[in-house]
Amino acid sequence: MLIKLIGSGWKNTSLVDVHGSVTFTLWLCMCNLKCPFCHNWRLASNEGSICKPLDISRLLDDLSASRSFIDYLHVTGGEPLLQYTGLLWLFKEAKEMDVATSLNSNLTLYMPLKKLVDQGVIDHVATDLKTPFDELSGLGDASNILFKQFTESLRLIVEKNIPLELRIPVAKNLTFKTLEKTVESIMPTLSKHVENTVVIVNPLLSKPLTNPRSVEWCDKYCMPSEVELEGVAGVFRRLGFKTFIKEVPR
């Protein structure tokens, strides 16, 4: 079987892509969202200058050489589920090496996720809880159906008891205003998974720290205050989640 994956490359050892874990991190190209704060937007847009067919043989060789000192093969993007056929194959190869797998996904592509989950090849999931979803996804009203897919994907993860890293991208003067309503909509599902979920509160960053898709948007909404970050964290701590705040570089 000829496997093709389009990506920008990989890092054999990373300490920053999964909370508390060492990962072999692979970046795949293409995404179905247009998040204005995205700093991987060139990769998400599948720009030919950085997105190429990956050398699968070399990728597997490097993964095999790294397996004794990593916790996960972590695949991020972009949106990896847009390449779910190749991703399924890769995760199966990792499992053959006795390497656990981690998927960083926006969880809006339910059926591709289900195909991987049903095959038992996902050991960990990381995702953003974007709120307000229409604004942070960059899709406006067109995002409604995708948020429904997101909640269905969360339900699947909970049903299969897959460890979850729930990241909260905090947009200044936006996220905290809509957070309680968004959390209320997912808690009937997520309340069953509190012990198997880690919440990471992520301040959205602007230039010169990152190169976001929309500098104008980030000038307005990025770099939230510590008060806002603590407020967001407090919502999840009161619900019993293990919650951590990423420091805002100043």
Answer yes or no: is pLDDT of 1 > 70: no
The residues with which 124 forms a beta bridge, in sequence order, are 102
DSSP string, 40-86: -HHHHTT-TTT-EE--HHHHHHHHHHHGGG-SEEEEESS-GGGGHHH
What is the pLDDT, as a whole number, of residue 249?
66
Task: Report the pLDDT averaged over residues 115-129.
Answer: 98
At residue 3 the predicted structure's pLDDT band, cuts being 50, 70 and 90, is confident
pLDDT in tens, 193-206: 999 999 999 999 99
pLDDT, tens only, 100-109:
999 999 999 9
For the CA atoms of 97, 99, 102, 103, the dihedral, rounded to the nearest 10 degrees, stands at: -10
Question: Is the confidence at residue 59, as pLDDT, over 70?
Answer: yes
Share of the chain above pLDDT 70, in %: 99
Alpha helices per DSSP H over the chain: 41-44, 56-66, 84-96, 110-118, 133-136, 144-159, 175-190, 215-221, 226-238
Output the average pLDDT for the chain: 96
Q: Which domains does the chain have, with CATH numbers?
A: 6-245 (3.20.20.70)
Residue 230 above 80 pLDDT? yes
Its pTM stands at: 0.96
Does residue 154 carry a pLDDT above 60? yes
Report the share of the chain in percent with pLDDT over 90: 95
CA distances from 60 to 10, 57, 96 (A): 11, 5, 11
Edge to edge, what strands does the sheet with 164-170 contain? 52-53, 6-14, 23-28, 72-76, 101-104, 124-128, 164-170, 197-203, 242-245
pLDDT digits (tens, 9 = 90+) for 161-178: 999 999 999 999 999 999
pLDDT of residue 57: 95
